[in-house]
Structure formats: structure tokens, C-alpha cells
């Protein structure tokens, strides 16, 4: 497995992995509003431009994606293809962010599905679950 910066040529592939994984594992935790909000966000050019994205590649196959904003201090997306869950790929993607950026504090708004994965990475919840535009999330923080 190799972790590398996702260039514009691979962004469509990355967003396909994100939406496919979201629909397979997370969408059941959301109503129609939340699913539509998530899909709309992935087509927002300003949002997309604000992201620094890295992918985990198995040969030519993209198997995981992490995207951050604010110089790596906020994780926006962390998705691993369902056929590759529980193999340490999310951890490797997160470790790459730690290597690439020097932020002492990293935040994430975790979906209900991913809370335990973020806890295993060392994140702790800072507030109870919230809902905005149909998206359920728990604010979490990682301190180096």
C-alpha cells in the first residue's frame, strides 16, 4: 500500500469511493436531508478546492481517502473501501496527515459509524452528538 497526494486526475475516483462507502455504511444513520446534504457537499467546487486529499493505493486501486482543511488541523473526510476495513488503512492515512502537517490539535466531526475508529486513533469527543442540515456528528479532538 502506498499513500500519496490525490491529484485532480484521481479526485473523481476519490469522491466515488467516498460516496459509495458512505451509502454502504453510513447512510442508514441519516434521513433523506442528511444524505442529500452530504451528496451536495461533494459537488461543491469551493469545498473541494479547500481540501488537501491523500489516498491509499493498492497498486493502481484507490482503497482509502483522507481529506483535511486548515493546514491539516481538521479532518473532513476519512473513508476506506468496505472490502479493506479493519486492515489499518485509516490509521496509515491518519499517520500520513501527522507527518505532513504540524498541527498540535486535529479536529473531526465524526459520523456515528466512525466514532470507534476515531477513538482507536486517539481522538476524544468534545461535545455530544449534534445534527446540522440532517448530518449527525460528534465533535472530536486529537492532541499530539
Q: Which value, to the nearest 10 degrees, does the dihedral of the CA atoms of residues 78, 84, 89, 91 take?
A: 70
Quote the pLDDT of residue 10: 85
Pairing relation of β-strands 130-132 and 135-143? antiparallel
Q: Quick check: helix, strand or coil at residue 8?
A: helix
60 part of a folded domain: yes
Domain tally, the chain: 1
Range of the domain at 89: 2-103
The span from the CA of 46 to the CA of 125, in Å, is 28
CATH of the domain at 41: 3.40.630.30
In a domain, 98, yes or no: yes
Question: Mean pLDDT in runs of 10 for the chain (144 residues)?
Answer: 90 95 95 96 92 95 96 97 95 97 96 96 98 97 97
Whether 140 maps to a domain, the answer reads no
Asked whether the beta carbons of 63 and 57 are under 8 A apart, the reply is: yes
In a domain, 143, yes or no: no
Amino acid at each position: 500500500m502506498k499513500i500519496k497526494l490525490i491529484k485532480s486526475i484521481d479526485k473523481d475516483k476519490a469522491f466515488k469511493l467516498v460516496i459509495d462507502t458512505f451509502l454502504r455504511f453510513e447512510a442508514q444513520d441519516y434521513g433523506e436531508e442528511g444524505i442529500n446534504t452530504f451528496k451536495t457537499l461533494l459537488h461543491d467546487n469551493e469545498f473541494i478546492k479547500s481540501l488537501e486529499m491523500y489516498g491509499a493505493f493498492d497498486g493502481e486501486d484507490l482503497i482509502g481517502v483522507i481529506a483535511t482543511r486548515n493546514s491539516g488541523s481538521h479532518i473532513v473526510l476519512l473513508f476506506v473501501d468496505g472490502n479493506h476495513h479493519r486492515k489499518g488503512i485509516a490509521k496509515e492515512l491518519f499517520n500520513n496527515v501527522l507527518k505532513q502537517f504540524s498541527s498540535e490539535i486535529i479536529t473531526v466531526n465524526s459520523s456515528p459509524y466512525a466514532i470507534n475508529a476515531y477513538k482507536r486513533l486517539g481522538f476524544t469527543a468534545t461535545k455530544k452528538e449534534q445534527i446540522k442540515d440532517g448530518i449527525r456528528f460528534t465533535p472530536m479532538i486529537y492532541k499530539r
